[in-house]
Amino acid sequence: MTSTYESDQRESPARGAWPDGRHWGEDGKGRGAWRRGRFVGLAAVLLGLLPVFHGYVPDARGIGSLAETFLPWLGLLILPLLMLARLRRSALALVALVVPLGAYGGLAGGALIGGGDSASYDFSVVQHNIADDNPDPAGAVRALAAAGPKLIALEEVTAGAAAKISGVLGAKYPHHAVVGTVGLWSAYPLRDVTAVDLKPEGIKEPWQRGMRATAVTPKGHVAVHVAHLPSVRATWPQGLKTGWRNEAAVRLGAALNAERTERVILLGDLNATADDRGLNPVVAEVDDTGGRFGFSWPRRFPVARLDHVMVRGGEVVRFEKLAATGSDHVPVLARVAF
């Protein structure tokens, strides 16, 4: 015969354990599913606010810029938060996860759905950092030309590579200009080719990475800017060094602001994503209308879109990546409508 005391001992859970059949009820400390997991729920809400309020993240040691560079990837943090919410059996945390799911779902949906009718565009353009150590620049541009763009913008063009590139593109792209290490090859006539001074004050050696030309297209005159902003360097313990990149972006933004031509295209390796606050002076002047997830760097496993096609007086109706070349960047193609 079993005593009442022994029966109660079997039916009562140990302190801190989950009561049988009540996994979503109170835990051993008397906390219900709506009281547990408050920190997980708070983390979920903050993660969901990040795509909208990332500009408020402090930029000490470049942390803000780093977060904005990898902003789309931060949505992957939803998975460990979901696991923690399930482990804690927290209804509060699970409901809070609706915030980041909606935020990052909207971010991805807007990038994938954004843009107009890709069948209706005026011409296509290619942007590519061809790399100064590319073993086959001629083969690289031959592949770019096969995509049929009317404009091809290149960065890290060396003197030796420029001759090889023109030898390949000369027949189809008879109009071209190279200023410093940036170049533009065009099927349309080019006029008013000028250098754009993007050089930060701290750089003492010769440095020319900006140019501007007027392309005479069937839609009228289009101001075409080609730019290559300085790289961001990671140092210890200072963090990310973004000063030169940001200073060059201010100069580029001023050049775009001074542009009086109605139609403008900016092509370039800007060494920043469009979300990065360092590019604010640029995106204030031209629209980043496509390809948020068209990651172009690094080639082997692209995680960020550093190569951009931005416009004013029109839009990018389609943005796509082309096959990799011998560069550490992946070339991108944009179809533009004015």
CATH number at residue 222: 3.60.10.10
Residues 74 and 218 in one domain: no
Terminus-to-terminus CA distance in the chain, angstroms? 90
Q: For 184, what's the count of Cα atoms within 13 Å in the CB-facing half-sphere?
A: 33
Q: Which residue has the tokens 């001759």?
A: 163
d(CA 305, CA 138): 24
d(CA 126, CA 202): 31
- What's the angle, vertex CA 137, arms to CA 134 and CA 141, rounded to 5? 130
Domain tally, the chain: 2
Mean pLDDT taken over the chain: 90
Residues 180 and 211 in one domain: yes
Confidence of residue 16 (pLDDT cuts 50, 70, 90): very low
pLDDT at 47 over 60: yes
Domain boundary among 54, 79, 113: 113
Residues 42 and 185 in one domain: no
pLDDT digits (tens, 9 = 90+) for 257-266: 999 999 999 9
Give the pLDDT confidence score for residue 2 in this predicted structure: 52
- Domain range for 208 is 123-337
DSSP secondary structure letter of residue 230? P
Residues 278 and 321 in one domain: yes
pLDDT digits (tens, 9 = 90+) for 72-91: 999 999 999 999 999 989 99
- What does the block give as tokens for 326? 């011998």
Instruction: Give me the count of residues in the chain.
Output: 338
Residues 71 and 202 in one domain: no
Rounded average pLDDT over 46-66: 91
Peptide bond into 298 cis (omega under 30): yes
Residues 178 and 273 in one domain: yes
d(CA 238, CA 40): 31
Residues 129 and 155 in one domain: yes
Q: For 74, what's the count of Cα atoms within 13 Å in the CB-facing half-sphere?
A: 21
pLDDT digits (tens, 9 = 90+) for 224-256: 999 999 999 888 777 889 999 999 999 999 999
Does the pTM of the predicted model rise above 0.85? yes
DSSP secondary structure letter of residue 287? B
CB 311 within 8 A of CB 336: yes
pLDDT digits (tens, 9 = 90+) for 249-286: 999 999 999 999 999 999 999 999 999 999 999 999 99
Confidence of residue 14 (pLDDT cuts 50, 70, 90): very low
- What does the block give as tokens for 331? 């070339």
> Which own/partner contact pairs does 216-220 have at CB distance under 8 Å and 24+ positions apart?
216/188, 216/189, 216/190, 216/191, 217/122, 217/123, 217/150, 217/188, 218/122, 219/122, 219/263, 219/338, 220/262, 220/263, 220/338
Does some domain include residue 291? yes
- What's the angle, vertex CA 297, arms to CA 70 and CA 308, rounded to 5? 85
Residues 160 and 205 in one domain: yes
pLDDT digits (tens, 9 = 90+) for 146-167: 999 999 999 999 999 999 999 9
Domain boundary among 56, 79, 113: 113
Residues 271 and 163 in one domain: yes
Phi and psi angles of residue 145, each rounded to the nearest 5 degrees, phi first: -65, -30
pLDDT digits (tens, 9 = 90+) for 160-214: 999 999 999 999 999 999 999 999 999 999 999 999 999 999 999 999 999 999 9
Q: Which residue has the tokens 């809070």?
A: 96
Give the pLDDT confidence score for residue 116 in this predicted structure: 54
Does some domain include residue 12? no
CB 144 within 8 A of CB 169: no
Q: Which residue has the tokens 């289009």?
A: 222
Residues 190 and 84 in one domain: no
Lowest-confidence range among 33-42, 120-129, 324-333?
Answer: 33-42
The percent of residues in the chain predicted with pLDDT above 90, rounded, is 77
Which residue intervals of the chain are DSSP H helices? Answer: 4-11, 38-53, 63-69, 78-88, 91-96, 98-113, 137-145, 159-169, 243-257, 280-283
In which region does residue 103 sit, left (phi positive, over 0), alpha (psi from -120 to 50) or beta (all else)? alpha
Work out whether strand 123-129 and strand 315-321 pair parallel, antiparallel, or are unpaired: unpaired
Q: Which residue has the tokens 């069937």?
A: 218
pLDDT at 296 over 80: yes
DSSP secondary structure letter of residue 191? E
Does some domain include residue 11? no
Amino acid at 155: E
